[in-house]
Structures are given as structure tokens and as C-alpha cells.
């Protein structure tokens, strides 16, 4: 909640005060149909995901996050933004089997914490698919600053509700040692994280983010086992996560292959259209690949156009036919 409030305030100052970027044309209808649902699922993913840390270890949470492609694929198929392909479906089964094996080998397995984390993963998948469906249909283009400007304040309100009813009654203000530097630096890190994700996608592409995400998960698992004593991992944990990781890597490969095919088809189509549009008369007298093209003989004597003709020509025209 503090992260969203801080990010929304910074985005407000950057847009309204310092005029770094301009806000998009946002109507109440678009805000109600796009921004509010996206913010609700974003807040849900944050709340469920963060609550899971109270019940299960950091390493096990990172292993469960391997289910993210599975959740996204299921939600995309149900929403109609993706087709049910058997190669991707079998890939998702592989990831799920790996997560199940990893969960079976977890020493401190907790059902409630696992349900919190899985629910947060599906909420994040709904947010991603909803962003694709709603924003693309509305034709909105949001950069990192404008995204936080519209989504962060609304997410702050949605996070305020569970805090007020579920967490605030159990808080004793006298026992809270509020350290301004810790909270401020933490909020700055969250803001920079949100900016960096959008910038990496814009500068490199989603593939780099996927590969970096796999590397990030391994680093987090390794560091959590060193820093937190409760994040103990077993051999079955490693085997299960390795199986799930193979499925994630294969999924990324299929998405990269599909994206490359779509790009090649689009380039080929543009080239064909450009080639057709270039098959016209050229003043330098160069040859034309179109057999039905019209060629003007510049060496022919000039003749005045006949008045009875509907078209006026300068020079003699030759029609090349097959």
C-alpha cells in the first residue's frame, strides 16, 4: 500500500508539476472499464502474494512462481486471447508436474500459504490478460510514468480496504518502530523496479525479461537459503524446480519462435505490398517486372493530343502485354 501511494505521488509530480510526460486522454468510461479492473487485480496479486510470505519460505515462493506461465495460458485461453495448442498445453503440464514435485519435497509446506501464493499468481495473470484485452481495444498507450499515474492511486485504494479491515485492528501503534529511512528507501526501490521493468521491455523486449526472470529466481532461491534459516531446500525441491524450469524455458522458446514467425510473415507481407507499389513507370527508363505495365517512350516525337480523346498523353505509349 505504501509502495502504490509513493509511486502514485511521484508519477503525479512528474506529470502535473514537472511536465516530464503528458497524460493520455482518459475518459471516465475508459477509467471505469479499464483502469479500475486492472488496478483491482494488481492489488489482489500484491496482497495475496505478500501474505504468502507469512506462511511459506521465500525459496518455496519462487518455486511456485514457475506456475505463472501456466496461469497466464489458462486465463488467456478462457478469455479468447490465445488458442489452445497441444504443444503449449503439454508444456504447461510439465511445469505443473515440476511444481507439484517441488511442493512435495518442501519441508515446511503450508496449505494456506500455498493457496495465497497461487491465488496471487492467477490474479496477476488476470491483470496481464485484462491489460492486453482492454487497453489494446481502447487504443491506449501507457508509458511507465503514465501507467503508475493512473493505476497506482487506484491500487492504493484497493489495498487500503484489506489493510483497514484485516490488519489495522491487530496493529498496536505503540509497538511499531517506524523508521523513515527504511520505508522511504524501500518505496524508492519499488518505484525503480516498476520503471526498470517497462524500460527493459521497451529497450530489449519481453524475451530478455523472461530470461532475466529465470536468472532472478535462481538468485533469490540461493540468497534466501543463505539469509533466512527457514528457507531450507531439499533435493526433491531442486529436482521439481528443475523440471518446472525446463518447462518454462521450453515455453519461452515456443513464444520466441512464434514471435519470430509472426515477424517474418509481417515483413514478407510488407515487402510484397511494397514491391507491387513499386512496379510503376520510372523516369530513368528502368525495366519493369510487371508484364502489364505501361511504358512511355521518351524518344518519340511529341504529338498534340486529339480533342476527341478522353485522356491526354505526351509522347507515344506502348502497352506491353503477355
DSSP 229-270: TT----HHHHHHHHHHHHHHHHHHHHHHHHHHHHHHHHHHHH
User: What pLDDT score does 204 carry?
Assistant: 64
Residue 319 inside a domain? The answer is: no
Identify the residue with better confidence: 93 or 298.
93
- Considering the domain boundaries, does residue 130 fall inside one? no
Mean pLDDT in residue range 115-143 = 85
Read out DSSP for 12-49?
Answer: HIIIIIS-SSPPP---HHHIIIIIHHHHHHHHHHHHHH
| Any domain includes 192 | yes
Let me know: does 127 contact 45? Beta carbons within 8 Å.
yes
Asked whether the whole model's pTM tops 0.85, one would answer: no
Question: Residue 113: which pLDDT band, with cuts at 50, 70 and 90?
Answer: very high
* Chain-centroid distance, C-alpha 255: 13
Which pLDDT value is given to residue 301?
44
pLDDT given for residue 297 in this prediction: 43
Indicate whether 288 pLDDT > 60.
no
| Mean pLDDT confidence for 196-218 | 69
pLDDT score, position 320: 47
Whether 70 is covered by a domain: the verdict is: no
109-118, 191-200, 250-259, 292-301, range with greatest mean pLDDT: 109-118
- Output b/e per residue, 299-317; b: 16+ Cβ within 10 A: eeeeeeeeeeeeeeeeeee
Residue 282 has pLDDT above 60, yes or no: no
Q: Which domain holds residue 197?
A: 1-24+142-166+182-203
pLDDT at 130 over 60: yes
Is 191 within the bounds of a domain? yes
Among 193, 48, 15, residue whose Cα is nearest residue 116: 48
- Cα of 68 vs its chain's centroid, Å: 12
Higher pLDDT, 285 or 228: 228
What pLDDT sits at residue 300?
44
The answer to the question of residue 154 being in a domain is yes
Task: Give the model's pLDDT for residue 278.
Answer: 58
Question: Which one has a higher pLDDT value, 316 or 277?
Answer: 277
Residue 251 confidence (pLDDT) = 80
Q: Which of 56-65, 278-287, 310-319 has the lowest mean pLDDT?
A: 310-319
pLDDT at 115: 96
The residue that leads in pLDDT, 157 or 311, is: 157
pLDDT at 35 over 80: yes
By C-alpha distance, which of 75, 55, 70 is closest to 100?
A: 70
pLDDT score of 84: 86
Residue with cell 517506524: 178
Shortest CA distance to 35 belongs to which of 102, 130, 110, 175? 130
Confidence at residue 184, expressed as pLDDT on a 0 to 100 scale: 92
pLDDT band at 293 (very low <50, low <70, confident <90, very high): very low
pLDDT at 214 over 80: no
Residue 143 pLDDT class (50, 70, 90 cuts): confident
The set of cell numbers assigned to 184 is 522511504
**pLDDT, average across residues 114-124:** 94
Q: What is the pLDDT of residue 210?
A: 64
pLDDT for the residue numbered 11: 93
In a domain, 29, yes or no: no
Query: Number of folded domains in the chain?
Result: 1
Q: Is residue 18 part of a domain?
A: yes
Amino acid at each position: 500500500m505504501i509502495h502504490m501511494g509513493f509511486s502514485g505521488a511521484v508519477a503525479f509530480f512528474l506529470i502535473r508539476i514537472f511536465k516530464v510526460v503528458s497524460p493520455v486522454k482518459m475518459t471516465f468510461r475508459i477509467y471505469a472499464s479499464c483502469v479500475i479492473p486492472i488496478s483491482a487485480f494488481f492489488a489482489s496479486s500484491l496482497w495475496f502474494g505478500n501474505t504468502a510470505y507469512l506462511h511459506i519460505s521465500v525459496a518455496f515462493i519462487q518455486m511456485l512462481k514457475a506456475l505463472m506461465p501456466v496461469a497466464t495460458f489458462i486465463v488467456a485461453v478462457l478469455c479468447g486471447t490465445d488458442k489452445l495448442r497441444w504443444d503449449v498445453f503439454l508444456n504447461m503440464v510439465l511445469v505443473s508436474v515440476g511444481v507439484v514435485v517441488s511442493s512435495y519435497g518442501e519441508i515446511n509446506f503450508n496449505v494456506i500459504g500455498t493457496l495465497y501464493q497461487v491465488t496471487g499468481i492467477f490474479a496477476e495473470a488476470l491483470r496481464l490478460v485484462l491489460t492486453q484485452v482492454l487497453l489494446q481495444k481502447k487504443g491506449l498507450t501507457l508509458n511507465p510514468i503514465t501507467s503508475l499515474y493512473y493505476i497506482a492511486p487506484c491500487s492504493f485504494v484497493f489495498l487500503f480496504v484489506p489493510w483497514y479491515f484485516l490488519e489495522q485492528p491487530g496493529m498496536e501503534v505503540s509497538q511499531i518502530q517506524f523508521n523513515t529511512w527504511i520505508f522511504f528507501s524501500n518505496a524508492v526501490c519499488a518505484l525503480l523496479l516498476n520503471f526498470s521493468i517497462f524500460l527493459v521491455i521497451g529497450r530489449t523486449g519481453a524475451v530478455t525479461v523472461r530470461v532475466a526472470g529465470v536468472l532472478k529466481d535462481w538468485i533469490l532461491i540461493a540468497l534466501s537459503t543463505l539469509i533466512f534459516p527457514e528457507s531450507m531446500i531439499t533435493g526433491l525441491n531442486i529436482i521439481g524446480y528443475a523440471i518446472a524450469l525446463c518447462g518454462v524455458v521450453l515455453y519461452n522458446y515456443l513464444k520466441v519462435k512464434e514471435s519470430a514467425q509472426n515477424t517474418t510473415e509481417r515483413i514478407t507481407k510488407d515487402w510484397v505490398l511494397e514491391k507491387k507499389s513499386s512496379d510503376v513507370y520510372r523516369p530513368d527508363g528502368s525495366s519493369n517486372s510487371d508484364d502489364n505495365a505501361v511504358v512511355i517512350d521518351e524518344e518519340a516525337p511529341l504529338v498534340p493530343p486529339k480533342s476527341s480523346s478522353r485522356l491526354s498523353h505526351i509522347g507515344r505509349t506502348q502497352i506491353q502485354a503477355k
